[in-house]
Amino acid sequence: MDPRSIRRLLKTVVWRQKGLPCSFPCEFLQHFSSGAEGWTEHLSWARGGGLVHKLAAIDPSTTVEIGAIIHEHVQVGPHSHIGSGSVVGPRVTIGSHSTLWYNVSLQNSCIGNHCAIHCGVCIGQDGFGFFVDDQGNMIKKPQAWTLSVFSFLCSWRDTVIGDHTKIDNQVQIGHNVVIGHSCMICGQAGLGGSSTIGDFVVLGGKCGVADHISIVSKVRIAAKSGVTRNITKPGDYAGFPAVPAAEWRRSMARFCKLGQGTRAHLGMVD
- pLDDT for position 154: 36
- In the prediction, which pLDDT does 20 show? 47
- What is the model's pLDDT at position 176? 84
Distance CA 139, CA 161 (A): 29
In the chain, which stretches have pLDDT less than 50?
Answer: 20-36, 151-157
The whole-number pLDDT of residue 125 equals 75
Give the C-alpha separation, 148 to 186, whole Å: 20
* Assigned architecture for domain 160-270: 3 Solenoid (2.160)
Domain with CATH 2.160.10.10 in the chain: 160-270
Angle at 246 between CA 189 and CA 185, to 5 degrees: 20
DSSP string, 162-191: -TT-EE-TT-EE-TT-EE-SS-EE-TT-EE
Cα distance between residue 179 and residue 185, in whole Å: 10
Indicate the pairing of strand 75-76 with strand 57-58.
parallel
Q: Tell me which residues are annotated as active site.
A: 175
Q: Are 183 and 162 in contact (CB under 8 A)?
A: yes
